Amino acid sequence: MDRQRTIEIIGAPSDLGANIRGSNMGPASIRIAHLKSKIEQQGFKVVDLGDLHVPIRESLMDEVKKECYLGPIREICKNLATITEGIMDRGNIPITLGGDHSVAIGSISGILRHFEKKKQELGLIWIDAHADVNTPTSSPSGNIHGMPLAVLLGLGHDELTSITSKKLRPQNTALIGIRNIDVEEKRILRESGIKFFTMRDIDEKGMFSVMREAIEHASNGTSGIHASFDIDGIDPRYAPGVSTPVSGGLTLREAHLCLEMIYETKKLVGMDLVELNPVNDINAQSANVVVDLILSGLGKSIV
């Protein structure tokens, strides 16, 4: 990655996609852990664009709540898509700080729109304990943070799939670290055509082999790779500050290896770091993990 390129940080402090509160405080927690100065120490210029406006949940009408906040989430994602598209058009690298994972609908839609203008394809590596391929008819809860990958593939709410006409290609989408999937979601995942690696796959093959396969999948015929990292993909022993912890996840070293290997492709175009919930964190442990992961994705090496 060319360190002459500028990193642009955008906060998306929304927890409207989830039924557990607190991830809206994630961007602030990550910034307090010295994100900007630590990226600058790696030789990058950094511009922090601040946070998107996100309405307070309590200020919204009951009808909006009954729709699982679909309307506000659509506006948040539309605004975020405009911002990330602009960052890409400037030749810079967007880092989106969540917020729940529904914000990735916006960040990745903007990057897809940029690639569409250039008639290029985008590869995606999605790290998560959950598959996030639910649709309104399959989801037991209706919470939109369980749907963003499906939306980006073109499935689900028209209000969200319409944010970008260009969709992710399943043959260039890899999902890593899954271990907690709804019953109907399993069928959607199998039929989606994306490449997925469960925690058992990582146990059997090792993270290096899994990442090599995932990168090959995401790189084939694409001009760049975006990494969308849900912090609950990591085992809660290392990152307790999440809304939906699931034991048996990635170790700290496996998480770093994932981003180190993506960096080494020289094709990384952007990152999302989502679902950090400071309410559940312990002494800012998870916030510091997020900052360190971003640094790995930007090329920080052990030696």
Residues that are catalytic:
101, 128, 130, 132, 145, 230, 232, 275
Rounded distance between C-alpha atoms, residue 164 and residue 158, angstroms: 11
Q: CA separation (Å) from 159 to 139, 145, 149, 228?
A: 17, 15, 15, 22
Burial 283-294 (b: 16+ CB within 10 A, else e): ebebbbbbbbbb
Name the token pair of 136. Answer: 């309104």
The answer to whether 294 and 35 are in contact (CB under 8 A) is yes
DSSP 8-state secondary structure symbol assigned to residue 38: H
CA–centroid distance for 238 within its chain: 19
Q: Cβ-count burial of 46 within 10 angstroms (0-12 exposed, 13-18 middle, 19+ buried)?
A: middle
Best CA proximity match to 297, nearest among 225, 240, 202, 248: 225
Q: How many CA atoms lie within 13 A of 140 on its CB side?
A: 6
φ, ψ of residue 35 to 5 degrees: the values are -55, -50
Distance CA 231, CA 274 (A): 6
The helix/strand/coil state of 187 is helix
Q: Tell me if residue 11 falls in helix, strand or coil.
A: strand
